[in-house]
Structure 1
């Protein structure tokens, strides 16, 4: 676990919020609260994905904000967004992970889809 604090500019936050829109929560903080196992799970997911959503059970807004601060302090992540019971967290990937992703074979772009008329015209 790291101690380096990450600060995000408003433009970076906006871009990360857009990326996080389609994500599903990968960790849930239940009735027992923020345990060390939950923090480890969040840390592991941040290492794998860089941008994650965490769902917090309970209706206490202040407790959710405290959880977010504790998570950021323990994992070195930045809070991108707190909306309802969801926390969006970001921590950049390590240099090793970035190199690993860069080495993976680039995907071939799919050809544009043909309409029925275009497909029939080919014959």
Structure 2
């Protein structure tokens, strides 16, 4: 899947939106497993913007996990803070309201 580049304004907008989100995905001692990839894909399709947490003692840090998932799923790694990271991917799933990204 082709990653679309986000502008600085769009990243800022997505960070602000992610601020109020509760984590939707936890990466545990298995790291970025196939199950985690599948769950992330389903959650991104349903929500477009998700916050994820890498649990203590996991084999990867938040940046590694976020970059790995973004690469595998054609998503954007929006933000990494501590053990948390935020992913964005536009969804074309019916029934969800897409995030209206600001234009440059």
| TM-score, scaled relative to structure 2 | 0.83
Give the whole-Å Cα distance in 2 for the aligned partners of 1:89 and 1:65. 11
Which residues of structure 2 form unaligned runs of 5+? 98-104
Alignment-derived partner of residue 23 in structure 2: 25
Alignment-derived partner of residue 68 in structure 1: 66
Of structures 1 and 2, the larger Rg is shown by 1
The one-character-per-residue Cα deviations of 1:65-122 (angstroms, maximum 9, x if unpaired) are: 221111011111101100111110000121x43xx346xxxxxxxxxxxxxxxxxxxx
Which residues of structure 1 form unaligned runs of 5+? 103-123
Q: How many residues align?
A: 96
**4+ runs deviating over 3 angstroms:** none
CA RMSD of aligned residues (A): 1.8
Equivalent positions of 1:1-123 (< 5 A) are 3-58=1-56, 63-94=61-92, 96-97=93-94, 100-101=95-96
Q: Secondary structure at the match of 1:27?
A: strand
| TM-score, scaled relative to structure 1 | 0.71
